[in-house]
Homo-oligomer: A and B are copies of this chain.
């Protein structure tokens, strides 16, 4: 199979970094002697849970919003998302002073709807099925002329997400391994592109819930698989690779490794208990594969992207369900 050459690269990531610098945080990198002891590696945690809106998603959304020329921007931006991208696009649009319209499923949690509304975005509800939300999004775009910014499969978004790894490689030379979670593949694609340009010897690993292993199947078979409606606590990783992210992941990622729901929950709890930082289940997947011993990482220098910290504190994986 001839993978098409990626149409986005390190120059786009560098340009994105300049573009978002006034608005995004340069997030800290934490270490933990406990995590080093448990994994046998020297582990560096890039804390995108401390990013604005609590997730790396702000980088890509901000880059997309500030990539628009004034005339296009004046018509606003739109997306479909009930997750971190929704808040990220809403905030980026508010900062630029343009309209944002977010298509959300009618059954989206109230707290997420309120958060997006709190950033000043207009919300249009749709059915939860992909065809419903895409039809509604198309209507919004037709009516308003808004620019669609896909949560992951968008070159501007991919370049923006790559800026997290740009910072990692600036701060940490000689990394042996870098691990990010993979859902739609925006973060993993941006990371892989940055690694190939800046640190070719670093192995790039995507970490995915075993319960939503569509990226692993796509990567392994060479054919793009779509996730159905997977059940995983890593709710940010239920989406699938797309036409832009799949070829980049195929060309530039070394391996995709999966983790069980139990491993994900245990890794998340361990981080809360020992590192005292709040990460969401999706962010714990990258650590879970390392703790599982799925990688040859003993004695290695390993970077992990803590992708986000947005959790419902009333519904944690280790809580007993109340009736």
* Interface of A toward B, CB cutoff 8 Å: 28, 47, 49-50, 54, 269, 272-273, 276-279, 309, 313-314, 316, 318-320, 322
Contacts and interface: CB of A to CB of B under 8 A. Distances in A.
23 contacts: A28-B28, A47-B276, A49-B276, A50-B276, A54-B276, A269-B313, A272-B278, A272-B313, A273-B278, A273-B313, A276-B277, A276-B278, A276-B279, A276-B309, A277-B277, A277-B278, A278-B278, A313-B316, A313-B318, A314-B318, A319-B319, A320-B322, A322-B322
Contacts of A277: 276-278
A90 to B, nearest CB: 16
Contacts of A279: 276
Contacts of A278: 272-273, 276-278
Contacts of A273: 278, 313
Chain copies in complex = 2
A273 to B, nearest CB: 6
Contacts of A320: 322
A88 B189 CA distance: 43
Main secondary structure of the interface of A (DSSP, over half): loop
A279 B316 CA distance: 17
Q: Which 6 A-B pairs have the closest CB atoms?
A: A276-B309, A276-B278, A49-B276, A320-B322, A272-B278, A277-B277
Contacts of A314: 318
A316 B314 CA distance: 10
Interface centre among A272, A276, A314 (most CB of B within 10 A): A276
A322 B54 CA distance: 30
Contacts of A276: 47, 49-50, 54, 277-279, 309
Interface centre among A277, A316, A320 (most CB of B within 10 A): A277
Nearest to A52: B33
A309 to B, nearest CB: 4
Contacts of A50: 276
A60 B279 CA distance: 30
A125 B316 CA distance: 34
